[in-house]
């Protein structure tokens, strides 16, 4: 009978740790997303190219000088030169057929895909950059995805407000879930808590080991959830898309620390209040 009881208690403890781990995992993930939202938006903006098409009669000197200008331009993050043959090959792959055989010639032009730092990616700055490029005699056309840039910039402030509201809501939900998890775990020990009080044990003596246990659960859950997130970030960085760990290291530390402190605070307050409720209740109300 004792083995069955111990096994049941151990199972309850495991369930508590798992429940808190899941809550902290989603809380930490959400905090990381919020803390890196601006970086995510900036990275998105920096992946929108301004495409400069060159005239066919451009000279080698003009091409070299233009490349030098791009290299020393503080607004330019990177650029790629795409010759007309490479552009034709890429277009043939995209449409699934060799259009050169049909046309008999290559109508495409040499071009540059130019990527700018996020500070310069808004409608006004990009238009100014485009006009500067168009003033060059050897440039045929300049294009960029204006609707996408407008969409990113116009919705950025809205996104920040929405994430702030969702963050507060998520914190409230996490608080309720952790509190309910602790309540359920302590409910199964309510009679033992009351029995200890009836035989003369002081409140501090009864509450101390219970609080220590719940704090241990909170720390364990926080460590497990943090490790899971680290493994996911490393996996995504190696297999899905590139993530610079150093760039998000501060946000990881902040989110993990916040989740740990949050879980410790809720565990301490909830355990204290719930245990006090059982101690102040009459024995017949606990059945």
CA–CA distance, 101 with 85 (Å, rounded to integer)? 13
> Are 32 and 164 within one domain?
yes
Given a contact cutoff of 8 angstroms between Cβ atoms, the answer to whether 277 and 207 are in contact is no
pLDDT tens column, 101-152: 666 666 677 888 889 888 877 766 777 888 888 888 888 888 887 777 777 7
4 has a pLDDT exceeding 70: no
Determine, yes or no, domain membership for 149: no
Q: Are residues 55 and 102 in the same domain?
A: yes
Total number of domains constituting the chain: 2
With vertex at residue 161, the alpha carbon angle to CA 155 and CA 166, rounded to the nearest 5 degrees, is 120
Q: How far apart are CA 230 and CA 23, in angstroms?
A: 16
Walk across the sheet containing 76-82 and list its strands: 76-82, 111-116, 50-54, 139-144
Is 159 found in the same domain as 259? yes
Its domain, for residue 10, covers 2-41+155-286
pLDDT tens for each residue of 95-105:
666 655 666 66
Last residue of a domain, one of 93, 112, 144: 144
Residue 244: per-residue pLDDT: 67
Residues forming a β-bridge with 209:
none
2 has a pLDDT exceeding 50: no
**Residue 55 sits in the same domain as residue 37:** no
pTM of the model: 0.66
Query: Over the stretch 186-231, which tens digit does the pLDDT of each residue have?
Result: 777 777 777 777 777 777 777 888 888 888 888 998 999 999 988 8
């Amino acid at each position: 009978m004792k083995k069955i009881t111990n096994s049941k208690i151990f199972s309850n403890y495991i369930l508590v740790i798992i429940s808190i781990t899941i809550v902290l995992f989603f809380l930490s993930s959400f905090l990381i997303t919020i803390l890196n939202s601006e970086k995510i938006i900036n990275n998105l903006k920096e992946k929108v190219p301004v495409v400069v098409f060159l005239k066919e009669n451009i000279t080698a000197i003009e091409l070299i000088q233009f490349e030098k200008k791009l290299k020393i331009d503080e607004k330019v993050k990177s650029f790629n030169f795409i010759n007309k043959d490479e552009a034709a090959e890429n277009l043939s792959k995209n449409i699934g057929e060799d259009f050169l055989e049909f046309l008999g010639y290559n109508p495409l032009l040499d071009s540059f895909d130019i990527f700018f730092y996020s500070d310069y990616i808004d409608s006004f700055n990009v238009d100014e950059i485009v006009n500067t490029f168009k003033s060059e005699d050897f440039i045929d056309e300049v294009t960029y995805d204006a609707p996408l840039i407008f969409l990113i910039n116009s919705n950025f402030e809205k996104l920040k407000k929405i994430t702030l509201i969702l963050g507060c809501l998520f914190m409230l939900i996490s608080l309720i879930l952790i509190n309910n998890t602790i309540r359920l775990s302590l409910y199964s020990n309510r009679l033992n808590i009351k029995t200890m009080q009836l035989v003369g044990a002081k409140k501090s003596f009864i509450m101390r080991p219970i609080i220590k246990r719940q704090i241990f659960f909170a720390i364990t859950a926080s460590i497990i959830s943090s490790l899971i997130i680290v493994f996911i970030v490393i996996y995504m960085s190696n297999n899905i898309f590139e993530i610079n760990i150093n760039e998000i290291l501060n946000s990881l530390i902040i989110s993990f620390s916040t989740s740990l402190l949050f879980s410790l605070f809720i565990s301490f307050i909830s355990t204290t209040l719930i245990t006090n409720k059982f101690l102040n209740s009459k024995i017949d109300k606990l059945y």
